[in-house]
Structure formats: structure tokens, C-alpha cells
Amino acid sequence: MKGKTACTYVLLSLVLIAVWTDLGACSQYGVKVVVNNDGSKSVTDLQVVFTGGKESLQILAGGMSHEFIINPDAESAIDLRFRTSDGVARSTKLDIYLGKNYEGKIEVHIASDGTVKVNEIAPPRPRTFGLF
């Protein structure tokens, strides 16, 4: 009897660990937004704004990129805000819509003239939850 009880506790513990790991990792999931500065000059005050939050970067140098992981609280559009090297504030609503617990990858390119282009590498979709 002791062997069966110990085995039951071990199996139950493994299941609980698997569930806890999967649920605890939810905060690591989201939509990856990679912002590329295709120009030669820096952009500043870069913000990726979405429902329930925003991700920010003070300076993105010319020719560089930065990856943000976002997970909005509800259905959301994405606004990209930044200042060009000459101090002009820009705000662009990206033609991307997502929701809570979505996953995917989006690349955003900022041209030297401040125009923004979006590529959906892996279009945002609801994340599937599984134990394993």
C-alpha cells in the first residue's frame, strides 16, 4: 500500500508542477514586436502602446532593432510612437489587432523619413494552452 501511495504522490506532484510551470510561463508569452530602425539616425522615446500597457525604449540607434513582448489585457490595436532625430513626434496605428494571451511575431520598420511599414512574420493568434 505504501508503494502505491508514494507513486500517487509522485504522479500528482509531477502533474501539479507541469500545470504550475505552464501557467507561470503565461507572462513570458505574448506577441513579439520587433522594431527596426532602418534609418541612419536614432529615434527616441519609442513606445509600443496597447490596451492595458505600453513598452518603451529611450533610444533606438540607426540600423538597430529592439524586441518587445506585449500581452494586452483585452482586444487591442497597437500604436507605435516615437520622435525622429529632428524631434518630430510620430504616432502610427499599426493595422494589427490582437487580444489577451495571443502569440505571434510582427516586424515594424521605421524608415529614415519616419514612415512605418509592418510585416506579420507570424500573424497574431490566440495562444493554445496545453499541459505538455
The CATH number covering residue 77 comes to: 2.60.40.2890
Phi, psi angle pair for 61, to nearest 5°: -65, 155
- Kindly state whether residue 76 falls inside one of the protein's structural domains: yes
Domain that holds residue 39: 30-126
Q: How far is CA 53 from CA 60, 102, 123, in A?
A: 20, 15, 20
20 found inside a domain: no
Beta bridge partners of 91: 81
pLDDT of residue 12: 61
How many domains does one find in the chain? 1
Inside any domain, residue 39: yes
- Whether 117 maps to a domain, the answer reads yes
Residue 67 falls within a domain, yes or no? yes
Give a yes or no: residue 4 inside a domain. no
For the entire predicted model, the pTM comes to 0.75
Reading the chain (132 residues) residue by residue, the pLDDT tens digits are 565 676 666 566 555 555 554 544 444 689 999 999 999 999 999 999 999 999 999 999 999 999 999 999 999 999 999 999 999 999 999 988 899 899 999 999 999 999 999 998 877 888 876 544
E strands in 1-131? 31-37, 43-50, 53-60, 65-70, 76-83, 89-98, 102-110, 116-126
